[in-house]
C-alpha cells in the first residue's frame, strides 16, 4: 500500500449493533477518504428494526434521524475520536478533497458524518463528496432539507428494484437525501464488468 500515507481504523459496539470507520489519506496529500460500516445485532428481528428506526430522534443538528444511526454517529465519530483524528489530518491541509462513503447502514452513517464535516467546517464545502452504495434512509424531511443545503455533492448509488434503499419508508416519516443514481442489474453482468471483476 505504498500509495497510502495514512490508514486508521475505528470501531464501536453497542447492545443493538456495531459500527466501524476507516480514514485513508494518499501520499499525494490531496485526498482523504472515510468509509463506514454499520450492522444491527439482530438484523432479522422485527423488534430490533422497530427499536432502531422508530421513532426518529433529535440529533446534533437539524431534523430527526434513526436512533441507531444517531448512536453510531455519537459513539464512533465523536466518542472514539474519529472526528478528532480527521480534524488533525485536515489541519495539515485545508484544501484536501474529501470522499465519504459506505454501504447499506454504513452509507446512512456516512451521510450524517458528511453533514457534520460540512456544517462543522472541518473541510471546504465544495471539496466534500458523498457516494453511498445501497444506502438506507437516514432521517426526516427537516434533516433532508438541511442536508441538501449543506452537502452539495451527494450521490446514492442503488440497484434498480432493490428495496433496501427505500427502508424504513416515507410512510414512516423518512425522506431521501442526496441524488439517486440507479444501476441496472443487467449492466453488472456485462462482459466489461466481468472483465473488471476478474482482475480484482
Q: Per residue in 66-93, pLDDT tens? A: 999 999 999 999 999 999 999 999 998 8
| 171-182: pLDDT as tens digits | 999 999 999 988
CATH topology assigned to domain 4-198: Rossmann fold (3.40.50)
User: What pLDDT shows up at residue 35?
Assistant: 98
pTM above 0.85?
A: yes
Digit-coded pLDDT (tens) for 105-136 = 999 999 999 999 999 999 999 999 999 999 99
Closest CA to 103 of 164, 57, 60: 164
According to DSSP, the residues that pair with 12 across neighbouring strands are: 19
**Cα–Cα distance measured from residue 128 to residue 116, given in angstroms and rounded to the nearest whole number:** 11
Amino acid at each position: 500500500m505504498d500509495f497510502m500515507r495514512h490508514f486508521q481504523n475505528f470501531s464501536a459496539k453497542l447492545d443493538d449493533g456495531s459500527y466501524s470507520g476507516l480514514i485513508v489519506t494518499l501520499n499525494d496529500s490531496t485526498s482523504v477518504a472515510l468509509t463506514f460500516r454499520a450492522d444491527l445485532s439482530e438484523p432479522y428481528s422485527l423488534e430490533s428494526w422497530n427499536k432502531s428506526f422508530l421513532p426518529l430522534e433529535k440529533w446534533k443538528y437539524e431534523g430527526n434521524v434513526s436512533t441507531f444511526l444517531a448512536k453510531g454517529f455519537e459513539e464512533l465519530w465523536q466518542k472514539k475520536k474519529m472526528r478528532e483524528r480527521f480534524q488533525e489530518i485536515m489541519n495539515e491541509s485545508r484544501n484536501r478533497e474529501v470522499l465519504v462513503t459506505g454501504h447499506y447502514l454504513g452509507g446512512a452513517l456516512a451521510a450524517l458524518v458528511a453533514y457534520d464535516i460540512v456544517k462543522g467546517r472541518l473541510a471546504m464545502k465544495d471539496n466534500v463528496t458523498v457516494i453511498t452504495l445501497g444506502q438506507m434512509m437516514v432521517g426526516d424531511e427537516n434533516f433532508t432539507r438541511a442536508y441538501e443545503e449543506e452537502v452539495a455533492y451527494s450521490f446514492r448509488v442503488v440497484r434498480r428494484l432493490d428495496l433496501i434503499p427505500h427502508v424504513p419508508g416515507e410512510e414512516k416519516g423518512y425522506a431521501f437525501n442526496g441524488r439517486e443514481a440507479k444501476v441496472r442489474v443487467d449492466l453488472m453482468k456485462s462482459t466489461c464488468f466481468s472483465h473488471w471483476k476478474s482482475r480484482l
